[in-house]
Amino acid sequence: MIFGMQRRTAAIAGALVLALILALVAASASLLAVAREFTRDIRSQLETTRATRATQAETALRQQGGSQILLKLDTDALRETVVVGLRDDVRRMLREERIPFSGAAARDGSVEMRVRDAKDRERALSKLEPLLEMSGGSKADIADIGDGVIRLTPTELEFSERLRVLRQQSIEVIEQRLANFAVAAAGTQPDGTDRIRILLPGVKAPERLSTIFAKKARITFRLVDLSMTEAEALRGTPPAESELVYAPNSRDPYLLQKRIVMEGGEIIDAAPGFDQATHQPIVTFRFSANGTRRFAEITRDNIGRPFAIVLDNEVLSAPVIREPILPGGERLASSFRSSRRMWSLLPSFETALRASSG
């Protein structure tokens, strides 16, 4: 009787544990769905606001005259970025799976590598397929072209999606530059898949602004100087190796070391997300192979220090490094609490925009 009760108690306890696990899984999935929906809502609101401003700018342009600037995204540079990112992802996966290979070089818009052993090649192909999955299709076409060589070619679906994101994020950078130069009543709107039209009511000489937009956006990572406070630096003289840098549209200074510890060109991709543990927004970066190693070194050696992310010599954010961010996954979550502008950190921003005025 006692034995029977023990078995029934154990069964009930096991069922409760299973129910708890299922509840946690469901809650996690629900939280992720809410976070995604929240992100979509923010994007939708921003797009609506942007479209309203563009309509108002078009109306003002007809009424009072002005100028338009047409910017073209550098699609060749973007294609190169996509291929290099694919190469780095493939190299990382093969090394993690301990699959012997040689090459893995970017060549003529594709990535080629040689896996000599047939069983290793079969295993590599099976691991590559899930790596390349994306909504609505695949990031790259995979082909075994003989002599142990595997070729991966980014799909037009992947390129189109990256171009769409680049265009959206470039519009954000343009809007920020317009705000920095106090250009009132301006509007921005997509023009085709790879162009951005800037509407400038009342502006009669667009040449001056064209140079602003054609300038490359530069993203850098710099450490915050903790040898004195910003207030002390304002009252006195900052250390020779440091300088005061300000946040956008703000007079809040940061005392940063002049030395750049990492360039934004090492970022392959960046996207907004939510930390499921804290429910806070984060930015998720994906770095090149060299960037992954460098970022791991920086965060490992500077735990507890603020780490500034600087765009066009303005501090977007200066989060404190809480723990080393080490290699080991396709994406590295920065744990950087930030505004929506933080997810604009794409390496393609370092690509120049070709401008023409009309």
DSSP state of 320: B
| 253 in Cβ contact with 234 (< 8 Å) | yes
Instruction: Give the span between the Cα atoms of 198 and 58, in whole angstroms.
Output: 10
**CB < 8 Å & 24+ apart, contacts of 185-190:** 185/56, 185/57, 185/60, 186/53, 186/57, 187/50, 187/53, 187/54, 187/55, 187/56, 187/57, 187/58, 188/50, 188/53, 188/54, 189/50, 189/51, 189/54
Q: With contact defined as beta carbons under 8 Å apart, do 70 and 195 qualify?
A: yes
51's CB contacts (< 8 A; 6+ apart) are: 189
pLDDT at 354: 40
Q: Cα separation of 320 and 318, whole Å? A: 7
Nearest to 230 by CA among 241, 240, 244: 244
Distances (CA, A) of 329 to 275, 292, 333: 16, 10, 10
Q: What's the CA dihedral at 125, 128, 134, 140 to 10 degrees?
A: -70
Q: Which two tokens stand for residue 13?
A: 């306890």
**Could you report the average pLDDT of every consecutive run of 10 residues in the chain (358 residues)?**
42 44 44 51 74 86 86 86 86 88 87 92 88 80 90 92 86 79 80 89 77 71 92 90 87 90 76 59 67 85 88 83 66 41 41 40
Tell me the pairing of strands 262-263 and 253-257.
Answer: unpaired
Helix (H) or strand (E) holding 300: helix 289-301
Amino acid at 258: K
The span from the CA of 311 to the CA of 256, in Å, is 13
Q: Give me the pLDDT at residue 263, please.
A: 82
Work out the number of other CB atoms within 10 angstroms of the CB of residue 134: 12
Measured between alpha carbons, how far is 348 from 324 in angstroms, rounded to an integer?
26
Half-sphere exposure of 308 (CA within 13 A, CB side): 27
Q: What is the pLDDT of residue 119?
A: 92
- The secondary structure of 188-247, three-state, reads EEECCCCEEEEEEECCCCCHHHHHHHHCCCCEEEEEECCCCCHHHHHHCCCCCCEEEEEC
